[in-house]
Amino acid sequence: MNSSTEADHGAASSDDAAVAGAPEKASAAVPGPPAPEGRGVPKWRRTLRPYLLIVPALLLTGGILYPFGLGLYYTVFDFAASKPQPDFVGLENYRRIFTDSSFWDSAWVTVLYAVGAAAVETVLGVAVALLLHRSTLVGRVLEKVLILPLMIAPVIAAIIWKLMLQPSVGVVNYLLRPFGLGGVQWTDTPTGALLSSIAVDVWVYTPFVAILALAGLRSLPTSPFEAAAVDGAGWWFTFRKLTMPMLWPYVLVAVIFRFMDSLKVFDIIYALTEGGPGDSTVVLQIRAYLEAIRFQRYSFGLSYMIVLWAVVYLAAMVLVRYLGRIQNRAAEVPK
């Protein structure tokens, strides 16, 4: 009796084990998910794919370097409209540039323009950003209006200002006439033409500096300013010791862009004064245009452009290195 019971119990146990193992066998029989599609891609295609991704960048780089190299190649010849068969002259074009007094006059005008425009735009841009940083209704409205000059092409802005600065019919002299300042020859004197060109540049690009400075102000941490307020620090102390050291990297980015762009300015000056009166506002970019297009000395004009490129490159390299030091110094300010 006992043996039959034990046999029945063993059979039941074996049946339970079989039932328990059935799902495992069934799950093992179910096919798994399909293999990833990439496993079926040939190895040579997977190896080639990263290189195909950089093709657009290589094409863009080639599109920039090819005309630059071609222009550099032309500078060692004497291509001109009066000389259909140019000769190899080596560095003669560069020697002529650096021994020509007109080059140094244009370089001096270029430096004056770039430094003056960048300095005024930086001061005004930071001042406007500080005013707009206060969350008021007027500030929010002016913030939207601030971008309007940037939406106007510099050439169009220069033409508009050229009409407004006319001595006899210009609206600027009309508005200044009640103050005894009417009839000013804004663009007819060397100093007035240069200052007028800088003023137009300031009107167009000060919003660019202000927008960058405003973005920097809104990204600054609030804890240092709260601690300074608790300690009773005044506005000037807070601005000089906290705001400007932390804001300066943002401002310097705007200075780099504006200084580099002002070194190679063409549109504003040419539309406003065409380099006059005389050669008083002939910057390096306009000098290159006059030599290559108007006087049809192509290699000589290209040599001017290569020299201008070298000046802009060196100035940018110095400013970017200074920006790195300023960023490291700003990172040390307690936040």
Q: For residue 120, give both structure tokens.
A: 């005024």
SS3 of the chain: helix, strand, coil, percent, to 5: 75, 0, 25
- What is residue 77's three-state secondary structure? strand
Q: For residue 112, give both structure tokens.
A: 């004056």
Cβ atoms of 237 and 224 within 8 Å: the answer is no
How far apart are alpha carbons 313 and 304 in whole angstroms?
14
Q: What pLDDT was estimated at residue 33?
A: 53
Cβ atoms of 183 and 167 within 8 Å: the answer is yes
Cβ atoms of 251 and 209 within 8 Å: the answer is yes
| pLDDT per residue of the chain (335 residues) written in tens, 0 to 9 | 444 444 444 444 444 444 444 444 444 444 545 555 555 778 888 888 888 889 999 999 999 999 999 999 999 999 998 887 889 999 999 999 999 999 999 999 999 999 999 999 999 999 999 888 876 777 777 777 888 888 889 999 999 999 999 888 889 988 888 887 777 888 889 999 999 999 999 999 999 999 999 989 988 888 888 888 888 888 888 888 888 888 888 899 999 999 999 999 999 999 999 898 988 999 999 999 999 999 999 999 999 999 999 999 999 999 889 888 877 776 665 54
Q: What letter does residue 80 receive in the DSSP assignment?
A: B
The values of phi and psi at residue 32, to 5°, are -75, 180
Question: Other CB atoms closer than 10 Å to residue 296's CB: what's the count?
Answer: 14
Q: What is the dihedral of CA 45, 47, 53, 58, to 10 degrees?
A: -120
The residues that bridge with 80 in the sheet, in sequence order, are: 83
How far apart are alpha carbons 298 and 93 in whole angstroms?
11
SS (HEC) of 253-300: HHHHHHHHHHHCCCHHHHHHCCCCCCCCCCCHHHHHHHHHHHCCCHHH
How far apart are alpha carbons 124 and 241 in whole angstroms?
20
